[in-house]
Structure 1
Amino acid sequence: MQPPQQTSPADRTTGPILEVRGLVKHFPLTQGILLRRRIGAVKAVDGVSFDLRPGETLGIVGESGCGKSTVARLLMSLETPTAGSIRYRGQDITGLSGRALKAVRRNIQMVFQDPYTSLNPRMTVG
């Protein structure tokens, strides 16, 4: 087994590399085949805010269906947020498309874990 790698501590003097403010994603619920009348919404993500600085790692943990993957998809611009802003290196990326979006996506990565191997049920958190 390899010893854990040393990482540099987060630099609090520099600005955040990723800023998320008031991120919201609601999926509309519709009824009817032709008229598709909106009857409500599923609130997948509601008011998520955080900063991520160089040297920091963010892990999003929660129950199934709580919005973890939706937050990741919003950060990658695979989904359009209902409200809120996502700034990467000071640039608002919520409205990017084409080459500009592709350039940003090269620097952002989602990592999904296998739920059967990621957490040992005999270990406690904290």
Structure 2
Amino acid sequence: MTEPILEVRDLVKYFPLTQGVLFKKQVGAVKAVDGVSFDLMHGETLGIVGESGCGKSTLAKVLMNLETATSGSVRYKGEEISRLRGAALKAVRRNIQMVFQDPYTSLNPRMTVGDIIGEPFE
């Protein structure tokens, strides 16, 4: 059996709720992503859909290592991406792409679909 390109196991991302201005005290947490697991095989495409505020963007940011997971693991080609830095992380990000929620701010309407798709390869 072939190895997955992307392995996600028990991924959790909580944002702390704090109280106080000078002496901040954590009084709770917002559960943005809670226990997500999946494998993505070579040639597969993943789409994340759901209601507003359900954690789609947070999940994508944790997968790209733009946010730090509270717990769990994300492995790209067998490597834990949370441990990658510099050129190694940049290389992984070249191979994992996300389309932001508002396509009008992230896509150029003057470019053809072919130009947009081909842009990362230039």
Would you call these one fold, judging by a TM-score over 0.5?
Answer: yes
- Structure whose CA Rg is larger: 1
Cα distance, 1:95 vs structure 2: 2.0
- When the two structures are superposed, what TM-score results if normalisation uses the length of structure 2? 0.80
C-alpha displacement at 1:113, in angstroms? 5.2
- Quote the RMSD (CA, aligned, Å): 1.6
Report which of the two has the higher share of helix. 2
1:64-117 Cα distance to aligned partner (Å, 9 max, x none) = 0000010100011100000000000011111222222111111110023558xx
Alignment correspondent of 2:72 = 84
Q: Deviations for 1:36-78, whole angstroms, at most 9, x for unmatched residues?
A: 1100000000000000001111111110000001010001110
AA at the equivalent of 1:33: V
Unaligned runs of 5+ in 2: 104-122
Aligned match of 2:120: none
The equivalent residue for 1:52 is 40
TM-score by length of 1: 0.77
Consecutive unaligned residues of structure 1, counting only runs of 5 or more, are 1-12, 116-126
